[in-house]
């Protein structure tokens, strides 16, 4: 080990998992500085390193760069699910031919930093960073995404809602690596969108963000709804009570249901970007706009 610590660059998933399981490389005991930090695109890692050093804080020195593992790349569509490899970039998501249900995820992909960040930032990095304001998480929650993880002990899968356990915290064990994000098959009639509010139009951290997915029946009523809000709680959340109330509702009833059920599901904190009360108000407005946008686009298609 040199003065700058370890730098590992495995070329296979098996090599990466073996390194994570090796107590000499990734000690179970000790502090986080001694453990291996998994590096994918680096769009979160490097700014965080700079900030730590600026504040004279200790920064992780031992890095495992997984960018060269081809097994973790690619978007695969099957009969029952769409699998997004852990190293799938936001640019690749933007360019992929995915159903309308994925439109919210594509719109969020365009909001993740600038083009350079989108070319390097990965879907697994976004969820492992576990920021309350992560743009990719609300659309994935609305899609009922599951996280696939692996270790030398085997593989397991869990809902994204269980994977992210708190602000910057996940259920990932020290010897585990995210291998893919899986989305179950979506209805061909489902439509979605993503909206966010920040201090400016681009290159911003959300004050509030909303992903909404709707499916209507032949009478125009809401057959199914999935709505998730980011940056308004310790973790992005699904608005399950609102979803339940929207089922079977006519479009004219949506605005009132949104007013009744959005705020109570959120617990935002005050910070430099906005107060908790402002965030709640913003979430109500964004949810209403997102649902109205989906319905309006659906009406235009039907006309």
Per-residue burial over 199-221, b if 16 or more Cβ lie within 10 Å, else e, is: eeeeebbbbbbbbbbbbbeeeee
- How confident is the model over 15-68, as pLDDT tens digits? 999 999 999 999 988 677 788 999 999 888 877 777 777 777 777 789 999 999
Read off the pTM: 0.93
What is the pLDDT, as a whole number, of residue 273?
A: 85
For the segment 78-90, the average pLDDT, to the nearest whole number, is 97
Q: Is the pLDDT of residue 289 over 90?
A: yes
CB 235 within 8 A of CB 151: no
Looking at per-residue pLDDT, the higher value among 200 and 195 belongs to 195
What is the pLDDT, as a whole number, of residue 202?
A: 60
Query: Left (φ > 0), alpha (ψ -120 to 50) or beta: where does 203 sit?
Result: left
pLDDT band with cut points at 50, 70 and 90 for residue 1? very low
Distance CA 100, CA 104 (A): 8
Instruction: Give Cβ neighbours of residue 208 (< 8 Å, ≥ 6 apart).
Output: 196, 197, 229, 230, 231, 232, 268, 274, 279, 282, 283, 286
pLDDT band with cut points at 50, 70 and 90 for residue 302? low
- How confident is the model over 143-186, as pLDDT tens digits? 999 999 999 999 999 999 999 999 999 999 999 999 999 999 99
For the segment 69-82, the average pLDDT, to the nearest whole number, is 97
Q: Is the pLDDT of residue 207 over 70?
A: yes
Q: Is the pLDDT of residue 299 over 80?
A: no
What is the pLDDT, as a whole number, of residue 199?
A: 65
Q: Say which residue the tokens 């929650």 belong to.
A: 141
pLDDT band with cut points at 50, 70 and 90 for residue 87? very high
What is the pLDDT, as a whole number, of residue 74?
A: 97
What is the pLDDT, as a whole number, of residue 136?
A: 96
Sign of CA dihedral 26, 29, 34, 38: positive
What is the pLDDT, as a whole number, of residue 2?
A: 39
What is the pLDDT, as a whole number, of residue 126?
A: 95
Q: Is the pLDDT of residue 140 over 90?
A: yes
What is the pLDDT, as a whole number, of residue 201?
A: 58
Q: Is the pLDDT of residue 214 over 50?
A: yes
Domains of the chain: 7-65 (no CATH), 71-184 (3.30.465.10), 191-302 (3.30.390.50)
- How confident is the model over 233-271, as pLDDT tens digits? 999 999 999 999 999 999 999 999 999 999 999 999 888
pLDDT band with cut points at 50, 70 and 90 for residue 3? very low
What is the pLDDT, as a whole number, of residue 203?
A: 63
Q: Is the pLDDT of residue 138 over 60?
A: yes
For the segment 83-111, the average pLDDT, to the nearest whole number, is 97
């Amino acid at each position: 080990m040199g003065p700058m610590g370890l730098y590992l660059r495995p070329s296979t998933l098996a090599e990466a998992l073996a390194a994570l399981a090796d107590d000499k490389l990734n000690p179970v005991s000790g502090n986080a500085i001694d453990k291996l930090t998994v590096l994918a695109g680096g769009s979160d890692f490097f700014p965080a390193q700079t900030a730590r050093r600026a504040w004279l804080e200790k920064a992780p020195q031992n890095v495992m760069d997984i960018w060269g593992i081809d097994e973790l790349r690619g978007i695969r569509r099957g009969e029952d699910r769409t699998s997004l490899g852990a190293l799938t970039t936001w640019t690749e998501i933007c360019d992929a031919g995915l159903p309308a249900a994925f439109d919210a995820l594509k719109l969020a992909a365009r909001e993740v930093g600038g083009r350079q960040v989108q070319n390097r930032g990965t879907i697994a990095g976004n969820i492992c960073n576990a920021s309350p304001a992560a743009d990719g998480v609300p659309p994935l929650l609305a899609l009922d995404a599951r996280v696939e993880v692996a270790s030398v002990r085997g593989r397991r899968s869990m809902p994204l809602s269980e994977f992210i356990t708190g602000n910057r915290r996940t259920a990932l064990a020290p010897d585990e690596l995210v291998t893919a994000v899986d989305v179950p098959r979506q209805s061909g009639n489902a439509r979605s969108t993503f909206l966010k509010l920040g201090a400016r139009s681009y290159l911003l951290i959300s004050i509030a963000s909303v992903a909404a997915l709707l499916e209507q029946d032949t009478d125009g009523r809401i057959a199914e709804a999935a709505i998730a809000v980011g940056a308004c709680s310790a973790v992005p959340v699904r608005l399950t009570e609102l979803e339940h109330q929207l089922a079977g509702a006519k479009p004219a009833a949506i605005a009132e249901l949104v007013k009744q059920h959005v705020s109570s599901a959120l617990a935002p904190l005050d910070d430099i970007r906005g107060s908790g009360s402002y965030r709640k108000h913003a979430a109500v407005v964004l949810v209403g706009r997102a649902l109205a946008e989906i319905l309006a686009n659906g009406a235009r298609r039907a006309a």
